[in-house]
Amino acid sequence: MRRYRSRRIAMVFQEPMSSLNPVINIETQLTEGMITQLSLTNRQAKDRALELLETVGISDPERRLAQSPTNSPAA
């Protein structure tokens, strides 16, 4: 499947509760694509995820990354 992925193809799901895996923490789900597609290190991807969460106004982004989607107050 990875060979079919491309930087030119993207999908943004509108319903996060049905799009995010409830047993995988938010950090893993946000950084997986950045690591795979942008060749970022784990640290770089996490830093970028924190930056993005801050940009959209998520409070305490470091703590949110460690949560599962079902434990996040935004859920």
pLDDT by residue, tens only, the chain of 75 residues: 556 556 666 666 677 667 788 899 999 999 998 998 899 999 999 999 999 999 999 999 999 999 988 876 654
At residue 63, what is the residue type? Answer: R
Which sequence spans correspond to the domains of the chain? Answer: 26-69
Residue 1: count of CB within 10 angstroms of its CB: 4
Give whole-number Cα distances, 75 to 2, 3, 12, 17, in Å: 29, 32, 17, 7
pLDDT score of 70: 81
What backbone torsions phi and psi does residue 21 show, to the nearest 5 degrees?
-75, 120
pLDDT score of 1: 55
pLDDT score of 54: 96
Task: Record the pTM.
Answer: 0.73
